Structure 1
Amino acid sequence: MTYYIGLDVSVENTAICVIDATGHIEKEFSARCHPDNLATVLDPFSKMIGAIGLEAGPMSAFLADGLKQRGLDSVLMETRRDHAALSAVPVKTDRRDARGIAELLRMGWFQPVHLKIPVARDLRLMLSARDTLGRRVRELDNSVRGLVRGFGLRVPTGARGRFCDLVRDPIADNPVLEAAISPLLSARDAMAEEFTKLDKLVRDQSRNDDVCRRLMTIPGVGAVVAMTFRAAIDDPKRFRSSKSVGACFGLTSRRYQSGETDRVTSITKAGDASVRAALYEAAHVMLVRTNRWTPLKAWVMRVSARRCAKRAKIALARKLAVIMHRMWIDGTEFRTA
């Protein structure tokens, strides 16, 4: 007898459904959301397990690694496709979701998700922490600008390194304004200092990585963009074709065709948004700020003249994803001609 096990994961508990090859429910129960607890309750079925499935999510990598260390292989399932199937059920509960996941696993109606190695997850962790600090610094900058503007003070843009000094001097004569703004500036200084440290760590690690150094030979691709791409791809051989990388990160057009209707609309925006943003940023730098002339820049300039700058940047971002993946596979640097 072969069993298919669906896990519906939450923060505290995991709903579990065990079905056989015919779809008959063998057992439904729940357990604490930890590999030790899951391995214990699944042990009676360990010799007859066909597959264990769980949706990709914040805890999925931790649980999948833990189960594998305990001799239980699992499959991460793409959430959007699962949601389309599970949402057809009128009553939604964790128990029913676990049953639906087990059924999808048994029938093979799911899209497996690549489980990244710990090194790639560590790189992604550093990038996420850096982005979080950067966003918080910008949010505080904008908040302070808005607060002091009501008192007739304007902080010049483009002076991030001297931002606090430019604010402290004008507000020194207003006790109320100083009492309200000074804590924000202190918090902003502390976060900016930590951001600088983490940014340096990310850039140093990127420059010491062979793959990132090769990717950085492309005009417009810097240390952060290269590491973001490297952490997201993890294993370049998991893509059968370099052309599919752009679609993986949502840089291809969405299409709706039914009968006589056939519409091609904006990009799908599927996959990792941070990679999509990094590739778009690299495309913007190449198009606007890079003086080095290459056939790639000549191509995007023609697209920009024929369509518009935004579409040209999206097209270039998609092409950069293909080129960067191909360079990684071939172990080559960017050639200008």
Structure 2
Amino acid sequence: MKNVIQSILHSHLIPSCPHADLCGTKGRSWLSEQVVPQDERLAIDRHLREFDRLGEDLQVIERDLARSALADEGVKRLMTIPGVDMTVALAMKAAIGDVSRFDDPQKLVSYLGLNPSVRQSGPGPAYHGRITKQGRGHARGMLVEAAWAAARAPGPLRAFFLRVRARRGQHVAAVATARKLSVVIWHLLMKGESYAWARPSLHAKKLRDVELKAGSKALLQQ
């Protein structure tokens, strides 16, 4: 929507909005001051209304996801891991399903496509290459993003990331940390435990943010 509105402005040689959010309060005030033909003004107003409608729909979806997260002990356990927020935890639970179908953590790693590919010809030595990228690509991508976040938080995951980065570079380190995260997730879900090096204050803040998104406690009990 913002790009469409901006293209309308550009077609009339109006420069980009000087404010960070074109659809925010200051951005809309600036928009109202721009001189455009009446039909273009109506189009801009229509796009702004659609932007607001989509925003309201997203708030409803986010509220429902937050309520689901608060009702799921597994999701809350995963959120004890640095870098894993509500969205990542819900996505991993949805992608994994019943964790007991994975006999060991390496099978979950393979399921997420985070295991290195292996090349071998005859009796010669095996060579390990890039990750296979098979399986759940969306969940894999979210784990890599979580790995970057975990690398900024004090703890074993950050220490692991830094060790790998020193040898192989930061991108390989992020993927390796994502692989380690998948192993940690398997253990937490299988054993019903929280992350051993969890930061209670950080976890409490995560849960508080989820509660705010979910609405009041009275609503949660409905």
TM-score between the two structures when normalised by the length of structure 2: 0.75
Q: Is the Cα contact below 8 Å between 2:150 and 2:157 reproduced in 1?
A: no
Which ranges of structure 2 fall in alignment gaps of 5 or more residues?
Answer: 199-222
SS in 1 for 2:165: helix
Give the equivalent residue in structure 1 for 2:95: 232
Which ranges of structure 1 fall in alignment gaps of 5 or more residues?
Answer: 1-139
Structure of higher CA gyration radius: 1
Q: Is the Cα contact below 8 Å between 1:207 and 1:223 reproduced in 2?
A: no
From the two aligned structures, give the one with the greater strand fraction: 1
Give the equivalent residue in structure 2 for 1:321: 182
Residue number among 193, 196, 202 corresponding to 1:332 in the alignment: 193
How many angstroms apart in 2 are the aligned matches of 1:205 and 1:324?
19
Q: Is the Cα contact below 8 Å between 2:17 and 2:30 reproduced in 1?
A: no
Cα 1:187–1:241 change in 2 (3 A) is same
Q: Is the Cα contact below 8 Å between 1:153 and 1:170 reproduced in 2?
A: no
Q: Is the Cα contact below 8 Å between 1:148 and 1:154 reproduced in 2?
A: no
Q: Is the Cα contact below 8 Å between 1:256 and 1:262 reproduced in 2?
A: yes
Cα 1:155–1:276 change in 2 (3 A) is farther
How many angstroms apart in 1 are the aligned matches of 2:52 and 2:119?
49
How many angstroms apart in 1 are the aligned matches of 2:70 and 2:79?
9
Task: Give CA-to-partner distance per residue, 1:164-203, whole Å, 9 cap, x none.
Answer: 4344222323233433322222111111111011112102
From the two aligned structures, give the one with the greater helix fraction: 2
Cα 1:335–1:309 change in 2 (3 A) is same
SS in 2 for 1:332: coil
Give the equivalent residue in structure 2 for 1:282: 146
Q: Is the Cα contact below 8 Å between 2:161 and 2:174 reproduced in 1?
A: yes
How many angstroms apart in 1 are the aligned matches of 2:127 and 2:139?
26
Cα 1:262–1:240 change in 2 (3 A) is closer
Percent of matched pairs sharing the same residue = 29
Residue number among 14, 18, 21 corresponding to 1:151 in the alignment: 14
TM-score between the two structures when normalised by the length of structure 1: 0.51
How many angstroms apart in 2 are the aligned matches of 1:202 and 1:179?
35
Equivalence map 1:305-320=2 (5 Å): 305-320=166-181
How many angstroms apart in 2 are the aligned matches of 1:305 and 1:148?
48
Give the equivalent residue in structure 1 for 2:29: 169
Cα 1:171–1:201 change in 2 (3 A) is same
Cα 1:315–1:145 change in 2 (3 A) is farther
Relative CO higher for 1 or 2, CA cutoff 8 Å, sep ≥ 6? 2
Displacement of 1:155 in angstroms is 5.5
How many angstroms apart in 2 are the aligned matches of 1:275 and 1:181?
37
Moved more, 298-307 or 143-152: 143-152
How many equivalent residue pairs? Answer: 192
Task: Give CA-to-partner distance per residue, 1:102-144, whole Å, 9 cap, x none.
Answer: xxxxxxxxxxxxxxxxxxxxxxxxxxxxxxxxxxxxxx34444
